[in-house]
Each structure stands twice: as structure tokens, then as C-alpha cells.
Amino acid sequence: MTELHLDGLVGPTHFYGGLGYGNLASARSADSVSSPKRAALQGLAKMRAVHAHGVPQGILPPRPRPDWPLLSACGFDGDTPLASAREDAPTILKAAWSTSSMWTANAATVTASTDANDGRVHLTPANLSSTLHRSTEAEHTTQMLKLAFASDEFVVHEPLPAALPDEGAANHMQLGAPGETATTVFVHGPAVTATRFRSRQSADASQAVARRHTDRNALFVAQSQRAIDGGAFHNDVVAVSSERVLFCHQFAFEQGELDRIRAAQPDLVVVEISDDTLSLDDAVSSYVFNSELVTVDGTLLAIVEARVAESKGSMEALDQLVAATGATVEMFDLGQSMANGGGPACLRLRVPLTDEELAAVDSRFILDEAGFDQLERWVNEHFRDELSADDLADPAFAEEVAAADAALLRTLNLSYRSRATPSS
Ligand code: SUG
């Protein structure tokens, strides 16, 4: 088995909208100035490094922006839709420009063929129905996944109905040795009334995904309300896994749930970090549990965001991970993504595949060194150094972004349904 990593390519409209529900970093950054260019280059540098370790690395491209159909559906279809939306409904304007599809851990839930009764790889694009700006991602993601995974080895399902909120792989862990049937852990909201933030993942959604994927060995586990209230809007903010290693905070799950995980996968190496070592608040601000764990030739690699080094407790947590697993740690600056609540693990979707299945993936989505070079050139040519909320009402910016989107399609040799513009 091998693990294809599909990262979200950051689009030219990366900005700080304060739109992420229950996401403390997004709220803190609201309306500050972003750098789309730096965000995209930071993401590409991480992908290049992961690829250099021998991990197959691909991308999911950003959606064309702005979302004219969304603006039109909300009644902004006159001569000046952007300016009208800024005036009447700034949140809808922001949703129309969102580039949150860069966090592909929310693109879909994936079941490996070794974990499915029908022996096929299953992908369910997440409906992301908890927030407006993310709910519009599902259509484009489905289209991309159907292109990338078009052959018979794969089943790309439709997203679940919106009334069953689903946030994809950020709430899903595949625990076990590669090639053997894993325990697939679906983490959902607890059965308690939210005190601060409600969960974005419903138990019904998790169960529906496991059912349609014919999951052999699914385990449904409740996230703790304490973690959600503390800013863990996805489980991957407080827990991450790779093969037989689970690295998590003491308060990640409801009481007793970690014991159920241990019982289901007895050979699991659980590195559980106590709140005394690292408080939940510090864990949520450093995102140490959002490190990207990847096992290469039996050795664990932890891709960690550089700001983790500023938190003593987080460094102690990493020391415990290294002591228990022999992991190698590499630090990366992903500051632009972090400021919107997206650490290393948020930026990638893992697709466990056999060699034959990997060979069946559409090669346009998979990168080699020349592909990274091309994408860096695209970013340097088309992306702004700085972007602020005011720019989103500027029709000239919309034209600039349309040119960038068209250039990307040419670069990737893709042609997908483009969104209607106001004049077409
Ligand atoms: O859904 N942020 C994203 C961050 C997603 C992180 N993903 C994982 N944990 N896997 C979210 O909250 C912020 C957009 C803004 O504020 O402009 C945002 O959508």
C-alpha cells in the first residue's frame, strides 16, 4: 500500500474572512491583510518536501472565483453584484470569494480497498453544510474527484444530503498496519447540548458514509464537547494518526472513547498527551496535533508547523511522540494557512492505494518536480503579495482572478465546467 497525498492548491483569493465556525484562529484573523502569494508558496514548499521523501503527492485545484452563481442565487445579479453584496451582505460576498477548499482534509472521506467489503476505494465528498462558504465546495470537489478517480477501482459518491453535516477526513482515522484491514474511526459530535460551539459532524453522517463505503471495521467515536468548545472544530485539531500510531490530547474524545479505540486495535501505539503537559488551549493555538504524520518505509515523519516551537508544552508533546515512535520531525512555515485555522494536516487528503490503484489515478492531478516548478511560476505571475477585504468588491480583481484561473487550467491541462459570469 502507498498513501497518495492530495493537497489543496491555495487560490489567488486567500483572505481572512472570519468565516470559520468554532475556529478561533479564523475569528482572530478576521479582516486582517493576507498574502495569497506567500500562502500558496508555503503550501507548495510543504508538498515538495513531502514528495522528496518519496510520498506520491498531488493536488486538488482551487475553484474558479468569485462564485457568481452563489451571488446570483442570493439576489446579487444586477450590474454591480460585488459592490451590492459588500453593501448588503458582506458575509455572502466573502463566501463567494472563499478559497477554503485549500483544506483538503475536508474534501472527502476515503475508505481504502483493503477496508471495504467490495474491495474498491470509496470517496465521499464532504457536504460541509455547517457553513455557507464551505458548503459551496462540494460540487467542485465532486467534479474534481470524479475526474481524478475515474476508473473502475474507485467509487466517487455524491455528497450526503445537507441535513447530515459532514466534514470529511478531518474526522476520520485509518488505524492499523498497511495492507491489513484497519479500524476506521469516524469521529462525530457528542450527544450533549453544545455549551459554546456545536459540532460540525453528525453521527448520522459518519454512519451513512461508513455504510455506503461498505466499511469492514468502522468504529464510531464521540469527540469531546470540551475539545469543540476549546476550538477543536474538527477532530484533527486534537488527534492525528498514521498506521499504528495515534497522537492525541487527553481531552480529544468523550470519556471512555479512547479505551474503545484501544480495544478495537490492540496493537495501536497511543501517544496521549495529558492536559498537565499541554493544556487544551495551548494545543489548539499551536496545532501540534494537526501535524502531518506520514510513515515512509516504516519510519514515521512528522511535518510540524514552525510556531509549535514557541509552545513549551507542544514541544514536550513532540518529544513524547519521538520517544514512543522514533519519529523524525520537520518544521515548516505555514503561517498564512494557520491564521485561518489550517495546519499541515488540514492541507492534505490521504488516499491509501495499492500500486495498481495509484497507477489508475489521472496523472494530471499528480505532481513531479517540474509540476511544482510550473505551479510556483503560476503563483509568482498571478498572485498578489497582499489582499484585504476591500479588494473583494473590486471588479478589476475579479478579472485578474479569472485570468489566473484560466492560466491554471492550461497549466494542468484540465477543462472543467467553469462558472457562469454575470455577463454570460
Ligand atoms: O473550516 N477555515 C477552515 C479551516 C479548516 C481546517 N481544516 C481542518 N481542521 N482539517 C474552517 O474553519 C476560514 C475562512 C475565513 O475565515 O476566511 C476557514 O474556512
Render pLDDT for 360-381 as a digit per residue (tens, 0 to 9).
999 999 999 999 999 999 999 9
Residue tagged active-site, from 249, 346, 357, 382: 346
Is 419 a member of any domain? no
- Could you tell me the residue range of the domain that residue 11 belongs to? 2-412
Is 420 a member of any domain? no
- pTM exceeds cut of 0.95: yes
74 catalytic? Reply is no
CATH number, domain containing residue 235: 3.75.10.20
Q: Which atom of ligand 1 is nearest to the CA of 23?
A: 12
pLDDT-flagged residues of the chain (< 50)? 424
**What confidence score (pLDDT) does residue 420 get?**
54
Burial class (CB in 10 A: 0-12, 13-18, 19+), 48: middle
**Helix (DSSP H) and strand (DSSP E) numbers for the chain:** 16, 15
Residue 278 DSSP label: S
Closest CA to 124 of 100, 156, 98: 156
How many structural domains comprise the chain? Answer: 1
234 catalytic? Reply is yes
Ligand 1 centre from 80 Cα, in Å? 28
8 Å CB contact between 278 and 249: yes
Is 422 a member of any domain? no
Residue tagged active-site, from 14, 188, 234, 382: 234
Is 418 a member of any domain? no
Q: Is 237 in the pocket of ligand 1 (CB under 6 A)?
A: yes
Ligand 1 centre from 263 Cα, in Å? 32
Is 417 a member of any domain? no
8 Å CB contact between 300 and 293: yes
